[in-house]
Structure formats: C-alpha cells, structure tokens
Amino acid sequence: MTEPQWAPTSGTGAYPSRRSSAHKAVPEKSTAPGTRSVRRVTATSAGALQSPSTPPSTPPPSGPPRKARRNPAGLIVAGVLALALGLSAGYTGVTKSITDRIPFLNQVSADVGATATVDIPNGATGSQIATILANAGVVGNASNFVREFTNNPDARRIGPGRFEIATRLSPAAAVTALLDPTNKVEIRLVVPEGFTVQQIIDRVDTAEDIPIAAVDLEAAIEDPAGLGIPVEVPDNNIEGWLFPATYVIADDETAVSLLTTMVTRTIQELNAQAVPEADRESTLIKASLVEREVRNDGDKPKVARAIFNRIAAGMPLQIDAAVAYGIGISGTQLTTANLQDASNPYNTYIHTGLTPTPISNPGSAAIKAVMHPADGSWLFWVTVNLDTGETLFSTTYEEHQQGVAQLREWQAKNPGH
C-alpha cells in the first residue's frame, strides 16, 4: 500500500530574527549655533566746511580757546566695531570647540530618525568599533568616539554581535546604545518538526548570519556521546535527537554547542513525557514515522495507533517516507523499483517492524501521540486533501480504497500536487 506522504513544513529559515522591543537608542539632537552678523557702521563729520576766504559771520569769541567736544555717536560706533571684532574671534574659537564635541556638525548628510545595523566582531578594539560606527553613520567622528570609549569604563562591556541603533548619535550616546541589550539583534535558527539531520545541517550552513559550517556539524555528529546522547545509536546516526524548535544563536556558538543544545531539548521533552530511558530510541523512531505521515496534530494519535496495530498484526508499515529516507531522496522521487529494493533497510514495504533509526526529528505532539495513542482498530490511513492535511483512517482495505479514490479526485481538481 503506497501511502501519500506529507512533507515537513519548510519553516521561516536561519534569517536572523530581531528582538521585538520598541526601546531604541534615541539620537541626541545637536543644534549648531546660529551665524552671527555684525553691521559695519561708518561716520562722517556733521559740520559744514567753510571756505577760508569767507569771513565768519560772527566774530571769534574772546578769551582762552575751548577744548574740542567729543562726538558721542563716534564713541558708540567705535565700541560696536571693537565688540564685533572681539565676538568674531571668540565665535571662531567657540565654533571649533563645539564642532569637536558635536561631531555631526561636520557631517554633511544623515537622515534624522534613521537606524543602522552594525556588526561588532569578537575582540574588537575601541578604534575598530569607532570605524564601524562612523562608516555606518552612527557617529560622525571616529576619533571622538575613541576618546569617549577610552574615558568610559563601561565601554569595556561592549560585546560582539549585531546591533540596530540610531544614526547621528554623540559618542556617549553611541556607547550607551551598544551597551543596551534591547538594541542587540538576535540571530535565530528555526528547525521545523520532521526535519532530518541533513536538512538541519543544510539550513545552518546556508544561513548567512550563523558562522557554523556544515563540515563542523558533520564532525561533531561523529561523537554522539559528546553531544549528550545517553544511548548508543547505530552508526553514529543521531537522527531523532535534534529537537525541532527555534534556537537563539549565541555570539560564540559552535557546532558542538548548537547540537548539544538540541539534544538537551530532546532529553527534556522525553523526561517531561515520562518516556522510560530504555524506550527512548524506539519511541523516537515511532514518533518520527508519525511526524512524517500526518500534518495535523489531532491525527497523530490515530496514526500512532494504526502503526501499532500493523506491527501487532505482523503487517509491513508501507511508509513511503521511510523508504525515501533510506535512499536519501524525497518521497516524491520514489519509483516502483525503489519500493521493491530489499537492500534498503528502511524499506517498510519489504521489511516488517520499525526502521533501524528514526527517519526525522519529531516534535512534542508526535512524541505525545506515541505515548498516548488513540483507541481504534485502524490499519490504513490516507491524506485526501494535500492542502489541509485532512486524513481518513480505515480498518479494511476496501474502506481504504475509497479514501484513495477520494484523494485521486482531489488531485484531479488540483493539478500540480
């Protein structure tokens, strides 16, 4: 009986997801002083010139000569000119001092309210961080940031990672922003239920934000005990032991630490569901088959019961996903020859009982279904709607064929599936 398989969901990928906090560093606004202008004032004598040949209209006064009277308007003008010259010199010095302290007075263009994403490498010095920030438009002057970094003892706590912070910051505000954990962008890895070890390796390897290579993961897998797997697994096959979940990647994450975290989560789940230590590998095998056969959690206890019933009756499981796993191909690529190949130990059309190892990494619902299967006499199941995952369960082969016909009808109406 060829059972249509439900491929695992693809998930959202190793795209770094950001923190949802709305608290961001707010750029400190620096206002350049206005331009001062001084009006030049010039003065001329208010008296009219008289010709030497013209006699005065009145006789000159008698007695000692008078002192010339000072023109108060001239004094005012002279004072204004002196004050203007002094302010001009002082303003030049003040402007230079302000510019040194507010670097963005020297920055030609930057968007108010904009943010920048910066990557601070492990072990970066204050000078290296300053260059990164200046290139991103976070600060306007790298030298001023270095000065602030050197003088601020808290700056030593700035760690590596990716940060999203405001642009146009003062050096002090930039240091504060890098110390604020809400500005740090979390890099996340999403592992969907039913993913295989190889799919997990591929996802990590192709994630631009995760600095772990496939070769490192493959090397780590060669030591299952070193990853914390408490039982012996055939041929170092750790399939089933990497729990599907969303993982936050640490700045110093390694292949060993990442895989160990996944194994630890699986052990925690097995403990939470009271799976006996002696039954853990077999439980994961059953749960992995359940995970690949149906999509809806409500159907998982039913398919678990059907698998148990077939094993009890000595019937082959006839699960396409298991056959495909043994070959290393997708279930949609199976041929009739593949289903007849007895050399494949995962060929559940030929070999009865469970597969040698799990065929995927099951989630919590699949493990729970194995530990608490539904009551029923089902021996067959078929997914009749590949969009919704609707699955029919039956006890007789005749009933099962009716379900297969319903699937074929759906496929005819939905070409391409």
Name the percent of the chain lying above pLDDT 90: 68
pLDDT score of 211: 87
The pLDDT of 67-86, averaged and rounded, is 47
Q: Which has the minimum average pLDDT: 4-13, 114-123, 380-389?
A: 4-13
Q: Per mean pLDDT, which range of 113-117, 260-264, 342-346 is the poorest?
A: 113-117
Mean pLDDT for 228-250 is 95
Average pLDDT across the chain, whole number: 81
In this prediction, residue 39 has a pLDDT band, given cuts at 50, 70 and 90, of very low
pLDDT of 341 higher than 70: yes
Model pLDDT, residue 345: 97
More confidently predicted of 22 and 266: 266
**Is residue 389 very low, low, confident or very high in pLDDT (cuts 50, 70, 90)?**
very high
Three-class DSSP labels, 199-240: HHHHHHHHCCCCCCCHHHHHHHHCCCHHHCCCCCCHHHCCCC
Above 80 in pLDDT, residue 29?
Answer: no
CB-CB contact of 382 with 404 (8 Å): yes
- How many residues are there in the chain? 417
State the pLDDT confidence band at 385, using cuts at 50, 70 and 90: very high
Put simply, whether the predicted model's pTM sits higher than 0.75 gets the answer no
* pLDDT number for residue 111: 52
112: confidence class by pLDDT, cuts 50, 70, 90? low
Question: Which of 357, 195, 224 is CA-nearest to residue 286?
Answer: 357
What single string gives the DSSP state of each residue in 122-161?
TT--HHHHHHHHHHHTS-S-HHHHHHHHHH-GGGGG--SE
pLDDT band for 256, please (50, 70, 90 cuts). Answer: very high
d(CA 398, CA 325): 29
pLDDT at residue 36, rounded to an integer: 34
pLDDT value at residue 416: 78
Report how far residue 289's alpha carbon sits from residue 307's, in angstroms, rounded to the nearest whole number: 9
Q: Range with the lowest mean pLDDT among 98-112, 121-135, 216-230? A: 98-112
Highest mean pLDDT among 63-77, 257-271, 321-335: 257-271
Confidence of residue 65 (pLDDT cuts 50, 70, 90): very low
239 pLDDT tier (thresholds 50, 70, 90): very high
pLDDT, average across residues 177-188: 94
* φ, ψ for residue 321, nearest 5 deg: -60, -35
Cβ neighbours of 16 (radius 10 Å)? 17
pLDDT band at 71 (very low <50, low <70, confident <90, very high): low
Rounded CA separation 233/398 (Å): 39
Q: What is residue 107's predicted lDDT score, i.e. its pLDDT?
A: 43
CATH number of the domain located at residue range(s) 115-183 in this protein: 3.30.1490.480
SS3 164: strand
The pLDDT of residue 66 is 47
pLDDT above 60 for 77 = no
Segment 167-181, tens digit of pLDDT: 999 999 999 999 999
Tell me the domain boundaries of the chain.
115-183, 190-378
Residue 55 sits at the vertex; the CA angle it makes with 51 and 59, to the nearest 5 degrees, is 130
